[in-house]
Chain A
Amino acid sequence: MATLGELERTVMDMLWETGEAVTANMLRDKLAQSPEGPQAHKELAVTTVLTVLSRLEKKGLVDRERDTRPHRYQAVTSREDHTAELMHQVLGSAPDREAVLARFLGTVSDGEAATLRKLLGRN
């Protein structure tokens, strides 16, 4: 049985792949057919899929269309946008960033990079 974290990941991957709003039932069927884990996902109940979806909704990763029945779900934004958001937090100049996460190396200026390239050449 896959953990919730892994399921969230699989569900998001499917939503990103599909690119359109789908119901929990459709997702469950897709999960059951998915090549990477027919065993892991075959027995999945729709309620489990709904739990995963509402967790993702709470995290602001999934939008729910409430005017249809059953509700349809889709990814808030693309995988690439999320990667960009992540990298912006890591590499951008947000205040408190160093307190949020500690990077191996701070922002490097051009001059600094040139100095170090020279040093690297000598090594």
Chain B
Amino acid sequence: MIWASYALAALAIVLAWPAPILLSRARWPARSPFTAMILWQAIALAGGLSMIGAMLIWGLDPLSDTLPGGLRALSAIVFGNGPAGALGVWHVFALSAALLLGTHLVFTLLLTYARIRRQRRRHRDLLTLLSSPSPEAGGTVVINHPAPVAYCLPGGARSVTVLSDGLVDLLEPAELDAVLLHEQTHLTQRHHLLLWAFAAWRAALPWLPTSRLAQHAVNELIEMLADDEALKSVEKPTLIHAIAIVASGPPGATDPGQDGPAGADPGQYRAADGAAGDGAMAPSARVHRLLTPQPPLPHSGRTAVVAGSAALLALPTALLMIPGLFIW
């Protein structure tokens, strides 16, 4: 098993560092965002699996030649007070680290979920009081605010798309349709699940290049997917126009008309830029992608990426499960 643990460690390092850097610099994901999304998920899953697996089977090596055998022997030591003489300090250390990392990942996932859900519930409570149903589209509400904003709040059957009346005033009906289609794609394709998983992955391992790059990439890819879906129903110039109008804000950014809402200055969040660049795709990049469309990856290319993703998941699984794979 010792060789399998080295192979897993090597895989973990490749997936934590060079692989995500290369993928984040590649240009093809903009051509086939869906395929790229599969690859990012495979990198994250296989990365986590090989990290934990490497430590686990390295620590179990003195006990058995197989993972199940090692785990049985370990439980005999832990729960059955069996002799632990075979395990050195470093083996115990590796096993503890594997356990800690595994627990850490699962708990961060659950905690992130709880936090997101709490924020969504609060947001929905406030929306109930402050918004009114849109006359134009179902599942859509309008909120009274001068800044042009549109977003969707996922939540199963209670998912809702929110528009500000600042936005409704600025956009032509067709442009509004483009915005709605874009947002509804986020909901129907369940992008929030991806965002949740990758937000948790980043929260768990913030110092790892892969978790930061992956979250950034996923944020961009979902925007591309939503744009592509919207383009099936609206003209491209309409969507581009909508993006440009929302991005450039209301005509007079210091609109004095509203005397009410505290912090309603539509320009106030504009200043928070750069560092606040939260991974959402830069509008100019999005417009650029729409203006100079590249053909999607050929079928063979997409098949290769998907097959590679499957192999990426199969490799650590096989290293963990098949004894003697690395005995030569």
In the bound assembly, the distance between CA atoms of A81 and B262 in angstroms comes to 6
Q: Say which size band chain B's interface belongs to.
A: 35 or more
Which of A78, A92, A119 has most chain B Cβ within 10 Å?
Answer: A119
Contacts A82-B129, A123-B241; A107 near B151 (Cβ below 8 A): no
Does A68 count as interface, using CB distance less than 8 angstroms?
no
Q: Is the CB of B183 within 8 A of A12?
A: no
Specify which of B115, B179, B191, B270 is in contact with A108 (CB 8 Å cutoff).
Answer: B270
Q: Is the CB of A120 within 8 A of B244?
A: yes
Q: Is the CB of B149 within 8 A of A90?
A: yes
In the bound assembly, the distance between CA atoms of A76 and B275 in angstroms comes to 33
> Which A1-56 residues have C-beta < 8 A from chain B?
5, 8-9, 12
Across the two chains, which residue of chain A brings its CB closest to B153?
A101
Q: How far is the CB of B266 from chain A (nearest CB, A)?
A: 9
Across the two chains, which residue of chain A brings its CB closest to B199?
A99
**Which of B31-39, B96-104, B120-128, B317-325 is the interface stretch?**
B120-128
Q: Is the CB of B269 within 8 A of A116?
A: no
Contacts of B203 in A (CB 8 A): 96
Specify which of A61, A86, A106 is in contact with B282 (CB 8 Å cutoff).
Answer: A106
Across the two chains, which residue of chain A brings its CB closest to B198?
A99
Contacts of B151 in A (CB 8 A): 90, 101-104
Does A97 count as interface, using CB distance less than 8 angstroms?
yes
Does B303 count as interface, using CB distance less than 8 angstroms?
no
Contacts A12-B129, A96-B119, A105-B283; A116 near B247 (Cβ below 8 A): yes
**Which of B11-19, B59-67, B71-79, B139-147 is the interface stretch?**
B139-147
Which of B150, B249, B276 has most chain A Cβ within 10 Å?
Answer: B276
In the bound assembly, the distance between CA atoms of A89 and B279 in angstroms comes to 16
Main secondary structure of the interface of B (DSSP, over half): helix
Contacts A105-B243, A116-B244; A84 near B264 (Cβ below 8 A): yes
Contacts of A107 in B (CB 8 A): 269-270, 272-273, 276-278, 280
In the bound assembly, the distance between CA atoms of A98 and B154 in angstroms comes to 11
Q: Is the CB of A82 within 8 A of B243?
A: no
Q: How far is the CB of B233 from chain A (nearest CB, A)?
A: 16
Q: Is the CB of B278 within 8 A of A106?
A: yes
Contacts A61-B129, A98-B278; A112 near B283 (Cβ below 8 A): yes
Contacts A82-B130, A102-B222, A116-B287; A96 near B199 (Cβ below 8 A): yes
Contacts of A12 in B (CB 8 A): 129
Contacts of B144 in A (CB 8 A): 83
Does A65 count as interface, using CB distance less than 8 angstroms?
no
Does B85 count as interface, using CB distance less than 8 angstroms?
no
In the bound assembly, the distance between CA atoms of A89 and B127 in angstroms comes to 12
Across the two chains, which residue of chain B brings its CB closest to A94?
B119
Across the two chains, which residue of chain A brings its CB closest to B237?
A123
Contacts of A113 in B (CB 8 A): 247-249, 270
Q: Is the CB of B119 within 8 A of A100?
A: yes
In the bound assembly, the distance between CA atoms of A33 and B126 in angstroms comes to 25
Q: Is the CB of B261 within 8 A of A83?
A: yes
Q: Mark B230-264, 1 if CB is under 8 A from A, else 0.
A: 00000001001101111111000000000011111
Q: Is the CB of B126 within 8 A of A108?
A: no
Contacts of B271 in A (CB 8 A): 110
Specify which of B147, B199, B243, B244 is in contact with A87 (CB 8 Å cutoff).
Answer: B147
> Which B105-128 residues have C-beta < 8 A from chain A?
112, 115-116, 119-120, 122-123, 125-128
> Which B158-216 residues have C-beta < 8 A from chain A?
162, 179, 182-183, 186, 191-192, 195-196, 199, 203
Q: Is the CB of A96 within 8 A of B248?
A: no
In the bound assembly, the distance between CA atoms of A98 and B284 in angstroms comes to 19
Across the two chains, which residue of chain B brings its CB closest to A97?
B278
Q: Which residues of A contact B (CB under 8 A)?
A: 5, 8-9, 12, 59, 61, 78-94, 96-110, 112-113, 115-117, 119-120, 123
Can you list 20 A-B pairs with a CB-CB distance of less than 8 A?
A83-B130, A83-B262, A84-B261, A87-B149, A97-B278, A98-B278, A99-B112, A99-B196, A101-B123, A102-B151, A103-B151, A104-B182, A105-B246, A106-B277, A107-B270, A108-B273, A109-B273, A117-B244, A120-B241, A123-B240
